[in-house]
Every structure is written in structure tokens, then in C-alpha cells.
Amino acid sequence: MAPIEPDPAAAERFDAADQALYLTEVMAEIDAEVRRRRASGDLPAGLEQELDELFLEFSPVGLHGKARLRETLALVDGSAYVDVAVPVESRKAVGSQIKRLIRKSMGWYIGFIVHQIVKFAWSVSRMFHVVVDHVEDLEAAVETQRTPELPASAVPANDPGSSWWSAEAVTAVSGVSGRVLQAECGNGSLLDALLAAGVDAYGVDPIESVIEPAVERGLDVRAESVLDHLEVVADEALSGMVLTGSIQWLHPNQRHRLVALATARLAVDGVLVLHSATPESWMAETSHLMSDLAPGRPLHAETWSHLLADHGFRRTGLTFGGEDRRLDRVLSSNPDASAINGAIDAVNALLLGPGEYLLVAVRER
Amino acid sequence: MKLAFITPRYGTEVIGGAETAARMLAERLCQRPDWDVEVMTSCALDHLTWENTEPPGRSVINGVTVCRFPTASRRLLGYFELDAKLRVSPTTATLAESRRWVALNGPMCPDLVEAVAATDADIVACYPYLFATTVDGIAVSRVPTVLHPAAHDEPALYLSAFRQSFRDIDGFVYHTQAERELMEYAFAIGARPQIVLGLGVNEPVGAGRPGGDVLGIGDRPYLCYLGRVDEHKGCVMLAEYFERYKAGHPGDLALAFVGPVSDKAPDHPDVVVTGTVSEADKWDILAGARVMVNPSAYESFSLVLLEAWSLGIPALVNASCAATMEHCRRSGGGLWFESYRSFEVTVDRLVADGGLRSSLGEAGRQYTACYYRWSSIVDRYTRFLEGVVDRGHRAPIRSRRLQLAVGGPEYLRKG
């Protein structure tokens, strides 16, 4: 959730995390008491259901109703029955008699129609029950395949504006005419550079606390993941994207989704800039927690190029940088130089090499 | 910099979340030396009839220049017929049907639309999304245009007329993060310039009287609902829940409905219905409440929640309302209910536990002070508008103007 810019003086006193914890405890106690009272049966079941349906009647079932399948189904069930016994009460004595007469004389006709309506409604309701059962089975199956969560504390702070590749990224998207998305934007340092270069840039980052400095500077940043964000962007709405951060270690399925979404959301001739660690440096440099729990691993630059080419991108630039951990060769004066340097070359090629790369591609179709 | 607000109705008499929000923002903004603010609105104050009750032309309300234009038609009964039809499945309504719905929802003000087309303002701000003045204003605006949707998850939001109209918007201003998520989900506008702004809270202007005295219930403890007393605001549900609660928990707890009554007022010996009250009465009643209850599932911001918190009064909200839930979760200033049972247990707990009330009220007070001060809100708003003006107006796709719906009987207010 993107924070609203706080008033600095008041912000110092307001500890949202502490209060959230307290609220969770109170609501847990309330939930337990609700369950206890429901189980006690002190309200007639029919009345309790009626009161619950009243709540649902005035609740939205759209975007925020996704988790309310069962409750909504109960509402369908509750309204699937059509009562043919029309109320006959009336403030006038004769009115009641007339209503009773109409009900009696029309009863066979209304009953015939209602029987078919109720039959149809129950068939629909049964179908929904089957659908909801399937959905819940699917949800349970998906849950077992969920990758363990990578703790935010394990992810290094993202300050893309001070990186070796920032100037090149700015150059790559300078001159595009529409909006440029920067993910993950961290503290907004690269956004500052992009804006200074005249690029209409905005940013996303999944960690709310990280973007607070950018929010305070009035930048257009949102606290959401790049995948979630791209889901709500119109096709061809972006002229450029600068991607870094967790896109390096996305789960393969998510990476596939990212490439598909980036292709759809970028306009033709749109520029994609992608920064990543090399697989070799990532394994050597990242913490054990990070390398063990991250859902995926960084790809080689050639692999990204291949994936992007498959989706209609043409690679226009590839620069290696970051810490170069290659071992130096020994001097040829060393009597064993030939053997040692052979081994060093092999180690450099297989395990070491440049730490990061910046890939630039243009969407051609 | 000159900003022109477009609203369907405007004035201190108008009680409505979005309209009040627009007025509050305009009044704060016009105090800034470099900002010139003008409001273009209809001559109507009643959103159910759109009857022209105010004179057309220029006036000044609390420092804001207001230009009024007559509505071309009162609301027709045909609106309710079409609304009932489209409400069931708004996404399957044709574009023509949905545009007719917007036209029937009104207010149709041809002169206002012409004035928007000819405005000398640097930027236009439409507020809220639901009305014909907004859709027509967007269609003709030739300057950068922002929309304050004030949207919540309701069937009308999914009508294709709005999807078509919003293509020409240069920036979106939201009340809450929940509203932003809803709009992004419904319209795929994630890449557009946007800001979660919220609203500021006014300084309380109570007269220091005990709220129970103002309500005429002496020192009885009471829950307080503040706003339009309307079925769609959850008031019928609240009244029924409270009646059931009192049946099982006899005592002196009362419930006060404070605000204009749209439908039938709840009738119960422990329920007080005040109708419209003065600002001083409102603040005094609020200050004396044990808890401020907002049962509405359809809020885009809920200023009354923040007003209650500014006095340290805890809140109880509807769990299915994204906006009020966002406030409660972020602030820790309120609890929520999602069934009669949870209403019953939560009210029990809040009424009995003074420590809990104090803790929630204080958290709400700090949250309000931290995020909803007018000065910082206006700073952020002006910075955002300047950015939108710098970017310039989108190459407009230009939806056509709405066609005035004619014929059929007019809606007449009961009583």
C-alpha cells in the first residue's frame, strides 16, 4: 500500500506497526468470541442467517468480494426459493379478504410458474456449488506449490541511481515520448535522474517502507510488485521500462509472465532496459538466506536476449559491469605459467567474470 | 495557475462525500497566492431531482468563484428503470445503453459543457466520476484534465461509457489506496499519472456541550452515525442490528443517526434521528459518542471517520468497505464487523472497555494528524497538478457528448 506523505512532526509519534499488532490481537479475541456465541446457539439459526444476509445484501461482490465465494453462494441459496404464499395482511378488513381471494384463485397458476422458476434456480445454485468446490480444490492445490516467501530483510537495499549502470539506463530511454516505468525503484534515486533528463518516469517497488523517501520528494511511485502493476496497465501504454531488483530472481513462471506483460504493455519501438547480476556473481555474493529462498536465479545475458527475441525484441546494447572478480593471470616468467594460467582461465570462464550486466532491447513487433 | 473544478452540484448546503470534498479542496486551494480557482456547476442542489433551485451566473462561496449553469432536464423516471436493468450486469450493457444511463443520471447542463470547452483555466478537475457533467466535461476539455473519481465498487463503475471517457484523462486523484486499486483494476490505467491524496480534516467547531444534551438523551451512552441516513449507506442494516442488539442486551445504550434523512427514518425507542444539524451540534454530538459507527460498504474516503478520530473517538466500520477498512488497518483506530455476530461482540467490547476505546481513539487521532493535515495535502495536490500541466493534454480520443434524454415522466421527491 503506497503511503500518503506524512506530516514529519506527527509521523515521529505515530507507530503504525505497534498499533497494527494491538489491533490484530483485539480482532482475534473478538473472532474467538464470535465463534463461541455462534456455537452457543442463543440466536435461532433462521434469524442469524437473516441478519447475515442483510449484511451481504449491502456488500459489494466485485473486486473485494473475491474471497467471499461461500457467503455469496449462501445468498444465492437463500433467494433460490420463491414463496407462493403471498402475504394477505391489509390495513383495511376488506383488503385482506380480497387479497386472500386473489391468492386462492390464482394459486394453481402461480404455483405452476413458481415451481419451474424454483427448479431452475436450484439447478443454477447446484452448478455454483460444484464450481466453488472446484475453485477451492484448485486453491488448495496451488497453495501446496507456493514458493517460500523471501523475507524483505534478506533483500539488499535498492539504490539504482548510484549504480554503475544508471547513466546508461537514462541514456537508453532518453528521447522516448511516453511514460517510462522503473521497477524496482527503491528510494527513487534513478527516477530523479530520469526526470532530470526529461523522461516522464514513475516507479514501483513492492516494499512500502523503501519508497517513503521517494514519496516525500513528490515522485509518482507506488508500493506494488512489477507484475501486479503491469496487470493494471493498458496495452502499449508505456514507452520504456527499466527493470532491476527482484526480476533477477523471479520464479520461471513469473519471469515468463513478466516477459509477456512487458511485451504487451510496451508500445512498438518501446525500450526495455534490464539490469541483472550474472549467475556466477549472484551465487558467490548473495547471502545464503537469499540464494536459498529466492524463487529463481539470475539468467545469463544471452538467455534474456533469447527470451526477449522470442517476443519480438531486438537487443541493441549489452554492457557488463559491477565488480569483476576474475583472477589475474600469472606472469610468463613463472615456470609453471602455462599450466597455472590454463587453470585460471578455466576458473574465470566457469565461476567468475563480470558481476552484472545491463541489457537494452527495443520492441520491434 | 488557474484550476476549474467541474462538479454536478456545489454549495455549503450539499451534503455528500464527493461534493463536500470538492468544496473543501477548492476553498483551501483558492487561499494559495498563485492559484486561481473557479467552480463550474449546475443550478441544482438535489441530486435526485436536479431541479434548478439556484440562480445561474457567478457568485462567491467562501472565497471560491462559482459559475452555475441550469440543468436542461429534471431527473426522469426512466432512469430508475434503466438503472435496475443495467445494475444486474453492467459489463454486458452496450455502450449506447451505458451512455444513456449517464445522461439519465444527469445533470445535463449544455451551457456548462460549452463553458468547459471555452475555459481559460490551465487545468480542469472533474469530481466525481459518476455524473454527466464529468463525462461531458472530459469530452470537450481542451486543457489538461484530472479526475477525482471518488469511486467505490458499485455496478455503475463497470459501465463502458466511463471506460471510454477515462481514456482522455491526464491524471487521477484518489482518496485512498483502495480506490486507486479499484480504478486500476477496472480501467487498466496504472501507467497514468496519479496520486493518493485524501482530504484534510477541519478543526472541530463544537460549542463544548455534552453530546447527550444536544441529542436530548441526557447522559446515556450512545453510538453515533454521521452522514446521510440512507439504505445504501447501511443505515437500515445498522438500525436492524442495533434493534436486535438491544433485544439481547437491554440497557441505556442509544444510537444516534445524525444527518439528513433520505429514506424512512429508523423507528426505535433507543434510536435518535436528528436530521440535518449545525456544525457545532455535529461536533458536540461526535465528541460525546462512545463510538462512531460507519456501516456503509460504499465509501471512497469517509471524512466522518477522520473527524471522529480527530476528537479521539474510536470507529466501528463495515468490513466489506475497502476504504474505511484501509483507514482502520493503517491507523489502528477502529474495529470492524462482517456479520451481526461480529457487530454484537464488537459493540459489547467497545462499550465495556474504556481502555480499548482510548487506545483506538488515540491511534486514530495520531493517524489523522500525521496524514490528513490540509497544508501538506494542498502542497501535494498543487505539485501534482503542476506536473500534469507540464506534461500537457493527452492527444484526446474524444468521446462524443451525451445526448439529452427527453420524454417520459419526471421523478418527484416524496413529501
Distance from B141 to chain A by nearest Cα, in Å?
Answer: 21
Q: Tell me which residues of chain B, numbers 208 to 247, contact chain A at a CB-CB cutoff of 8 Å.
A: 231-232, 234, 236-237, 240-241, 244
Would the CB atoms of A4 and B328 count as touching at under 8 Å? no
The pLDDT tens digits for A77-89 are 777 788 888 888 8
- Positive or negative, the Cα torsion across A68, A69, A74, A77? positive
Average pLDDT of span A220-225 = 93
**Is the minimum CB–CB distance between B87 and chain A shorter than 8 Å?**
no
Q: How many CA atoms lie within 13 A of B66 on its CB side?
A: 24
How confident is the prediction for chain A on average, in pLDDT?
Answer: 86
CA–CA min distance B273, chain A (Å): 21
A154-363: CATH topology is Rossmann fold (3.40.50)
Counting as low any pLDDT under 70, the low residues of chain B are 16, 395-398, 414-415
How far CA A355 is from CA of A71, A323, A358, in Å, comes to 53, 5, 11
B311: left (phi over 0), alpha (psi -120 to 50) or beta: alpha
Answer yes or no: do B335 and A6 touch at CB < 8 A: no
Hey, what amino acid is at A31? D
Q: What are the chain B neighbours of A236 within 8 Å (beta carbons)?
A: none
Of all residues in chain B, the one with the smallest CA distance to A234 is B188
Cβ of B370 within 8 Å of Cβ of A30? The answer is no
Question: CA B371 to CA A8: how far, in whole Å?
Answer: 9
Q: Using CA atoms, how far apart are residues B117 and B137, in angstroms rounded to an integer?
A: 8
- Each residue of A103-115: b (16+ CB within 10 Å) or e? eeeeeeeeeeeee
User: What is the pLDDT at residue A174?
Assistant: 94
- All residues of chain B having their beta carbon less than 8 Å from the beta carbon of residue A238 are 191
Using CB atoms, which residue from A38, A58, A237 is nearest to B191? A237
Question: What residue of B is the nearest CA neighbor of A179?
Answer: B191
Mutation target among B176, B320, B331, B357 for the A interface, most CBs of A within 10 A:
B320
CATH superfamily of the domain spanning B211-371: Glycogen Phosphorylase B; (3.40.50.2000)
B chain contacts of residue A11, beta-carbon cutoff 8 Å:
370
B88 CB within 8 Å of a chain A CB: no
How far away is chain A from the Cα of B37, in angstroms, using its nearest Cα? 22
Nearest C-alpha in B relative to A177: B391
- Higher pLDDT, residue A74 or B36: B36
Measured between beta carbons, the chain B residues lying within 8 angstroms of A59 are 297, 318, 320
Longest Cα–Cα distance of chain A, Å, equals 122
By the 8 A CB rule, do B3 and B123 touch?
yes
User: Which pLDDT band holds residue A65 (cuts at 50, 70, 90)?
Assistant: very low
Q: What is the mean pLDDT of residues A325-345?
A: 88
Q: Which of A208, A232, A239 to mutate to test the interface with B (most CBs of B within 10 A)?
A: A232
Asked if the model's pLDDT at residue A3 lies above 50, the reply is no
What are phi and psi for residue A272, nearest 5 degrees?
A: -110, 125
Asked if A19 contacts B363 with a C-beta cutoff of 8 angstroms, the reply is yes
Long-range pairs for A291-294: beta carbons < 8 A, 24 or more residues apart: A293/A148, A293/A149, A293/A150, A293/A151, A293/A154, A294/A150, A294/A249
Q: What is the ipTM of this complex?
A: 0.78
Q: Confirm if A194 and A182 have CB atoms less than 8 A apart.
A: yes
- Residue B229 DSSP label: B
- A121-130 average pLDDT score: 91
- 3-class SS of residue A90: coil
| Residue range(s) in chain B whose domain bears CATH number 3.40.50.2000 | 2-200+374-391, 211-371
The 10s digit of each residue's pLDDT in A37-49 is: 988 888 887 888 8
- Whole-number pLDDT of residue A9: 52
Find the closest chain B residue to A33 by CA distance. Answer: B345
pLDDT of residue A85: 80
Amino acid at A164: W
Calculate how close chain B gets to A307, using CA atoms only, in Å. 24
How confident is the model at residue A64, as a pLDDT?
45
Contact A48 B383 (CB under 8 A): no
Q: Is B290 in a helix, a strand, or coil?
A: coil
pLDDT digits (tens, 9 = 90+) for A346-355: 887 777 778 8
B391 touches chain A (CB under 8 A): yes
Specify the DSSP class assigned to residue B74: P
Chain A contacts of B185, Cβ < 8 Å? Answer: 63, 232
Which B-chain residues 109-168 have CB contacts (< 8 A) with chain A?
152-154, 158
Nearest CA of chain B to the CA of A158: how many Å?
22
- Chain A contact for B196 (CB, 8 A cutoff): yes
* Residue A68, pLDDT score: 66
Fold entry, domain B2-200+374-391? Rossmann fold (3.40.50)
State how far the Cα of B261 lies from the Cα of B271, in Å rounded to an integer.
14
Q: How high is the pLDDT of residue A81?
A: 81
Q: Establish if B359 touches chain A: CB-CB under 8 angstroms.
A: yes
B158 → chain A, closest CA residue: A62
The pLDDT, as a whole number, for residue B410 is 86
* Closest among B29, B8, B19, B2 to B124, alpha carbons compared: B2
Calculate the CA A212 to chain-centre distance: 19
CB spacing of B359 vs A22 below 8 angstroms: yes
- Percent of chain A at pLDDT exceeding 90: 48
Name the minimum distance, in Å, from the CA of B42 to any CA of chain A.
Answer: 30
A103 falls in which pLDDT band (50, 70, 90)? Answer: confident
Q: Check residue B264 and give its pLDDT.
A: 76
* Contact between chains at A232 and B194 (C-beta distance less than 8 A): no
Asked whether the beta carbons of residue B370 and residue A62 sit closer than 8 angstroms, the reply is no
- Return the domain boundaries, chain A: 17-144, 154-363
- Of residues B15 and A244, more confidence is placed in A244
Q: Looking at the partner chain, which of B339, B359, B369 has a beta carbon nearest the beta carbon of A55?
A: B339
Rounded Cα gap, residues A290 and B64, in angstroms: 56
Residue in A closest to B359 by C-alpha: A19
> CA of B385: which chain A residue's CA is closest?
A218
Choose between A289 and B27: higher pLDDT: B27
Chain B closest-CA separation from residue A16 CA (Å): 6
3-class DSSP state for residue B129?
A: coil
Q: What are residue A277's phi and psi, to 5 degrees?
A: -75, 155
Check CB contact under 8 Å for A63 and B191: no
B48 touches chain A (CB under 8 A): no
